[in-house]
Amino acid sequence: MHILEWQAGGATGSAMDESFIFADDQNWFVVTQPSEGVYAIREPLHDEDVRSYLLTGSEKALLVDTGMGVSDISRIVKGITRLPVMVVNSHAHWDHVGGNCQFGDIAIHAAEATRLSDPDLTTALRNACAPERLYGPLPPGVTREALSIPPSRATTLLHGGESFDLGGRTFEAIHTPGHAAGLLVFLDRQAGVLLSTDAVYPGPLYAQFEECDLNAYLASLNALAKLAPALNHVHPSHNADEMPVSLIVQMRDSMAEVVAGRRPDEVGDDHATHWFDGFGIYVTSGYRGSRTA
């Protein structure tokens, strides 16, 4: 594999990141290392700005999510490590499972597993790759019409509480439903490193889908807020490689307001938005809080 040296003003046009490692020769992925043994594999030319994460120990590596499926992420993973790689999906949304077909074994929460063969994943990917949502060209030879997320199969069903021993460090899967029923985050308790996936990231939190459960989301944020004092690094799946730990508590408090019936700041056809300091929460337009919270 040929990995090109990064050239300023290249793939993203965004500011150089100090932890930058390399950009790939297909000009789609950018890899950074935001903390020890944690590699963020970004897809910065799409507005979701999603990251998959490769976590390395002394004996194994864990790939958390496989990206959009626009370009071959397995090639990037092989460029980072020669360790045996296990794949786990945080949940089954299209931008997290797109490259699953490039790997043999996939672990995912039981509540998400059947979605891996859903043809709607391909539809979602093609819709999401509308020109106005891209900051640059698709990789050479790739067209929007030909994009697809082939069905993949879960080989390990998770429920939360499982540990992934990578040699010298262990990540624990924690079930944090709300955004999706089977959403998982991954915690290295010893190092205080949290992969917060789609539970918390700096930007509008997506709680507007039919599948989203606001009460469950709040309970998950409560659980994460309890962990916060012991955390040193939080690596989210969207918009940044690292976010302030303190944002977790702010997001929990804000979600509590939304669930208690806070009036949204904007109401659109698609979703309503609650704005807070530096982030937002999207809910369905008709949502006006939940009495059961």
Measured from the CB of residue 131, what is the shortest distance to Zn ion in angstroms?
A: 21
Local structure of 214: helix, strand or coil: helix
Residue 126: which residues within 8 A CB-CB, separation 6 or more?
144, 145, 147
**Distance between CA atoms of residues 45 and 2, nearest Å:** 20
Strands (E), the chain: 3-4, 20-24, 30-35, 38-42, 51-56, 61-64, 85-88, 106-109, 156-158, 163-165, 170-175, 184-188, 193-197, 204-207, 233-236, 266-267, 272-276, 279-283
**Distance between CA atoms of residues 21 and 80, nearest Å:** 9
171 or 217: CB nearest Zn ion: 217
| Residue in 17, 49, 65, 198 binding Zn ion, rule: CB under 5 A | 198
Our measurement of the distance from residue 28's CA atom to the centroid of its chain's CA atoms, rounded to an integer in Å, reads 17
Residue 235 found at the interface with Zn ion (CB under 5 A): no
Residue 239: which residues within 8 A CB-CB, separation 6 or more?
49, 201, 202, 203
Measured from the CB of residue 10, what is the shortest distance to Zn ion in angstroms?
A: 25
**Distance between CA atoms of residues 285 and 198, nearest Å:** 21
Residue 162 found at the interface with Zn ion (CB under 5 A): no
Measured from the CB of residue 92, what is the shortest distance to Zn ion in angstroms?
A: 8
Q: Which residue is nearest to Zn ion (CB)?
A: 93
Measured from the CB of residue 59, what is the shortest distance to Zn ion in angstroms?
A: 29
| Residue in 46, 93, 235, 271 binding Zn ion, rule: CB under 5 A | 93
57 or 237: CB nearest Zn ion: 237
Residue 42 found at the interface with Zn ion (CB under 5 A): no
Residue with tokens 């020769």: 25
Measured from the CB of residue 207, what is the shortest distance to Zn ion in angstroms?
A: 10
Residue 271 found at the interface with Zn ion (CB under 5 A): no
Local structure of 283: helix, strand or coil: strand
Measured from the CB of residue 93, what is the shortest distance to Zn ion in angstroms?
A: 4
38 or 92: CB nearest Zn ion: 92
Residue 15: which residues within 8 A CB-CB, separation 6 or more?
none
43 or 198: CB nearest Zn ion: 198
129 or 166: CB nearest Zn ion: 129
166 or 173: CB nearest Zn ion: 173
The span of 22-30, 85-93, 105-113, 207-215 binding Zn ion (CB under 5 A) equals 85-93
Bridge partner residues of 275 (DSSP):
280
Measured from the CB of residue 240, what is the shortest distance to Zn ion in angstroms?
A: 13
List of residues contacting Zn ion (CB under 5 A): 93, 198
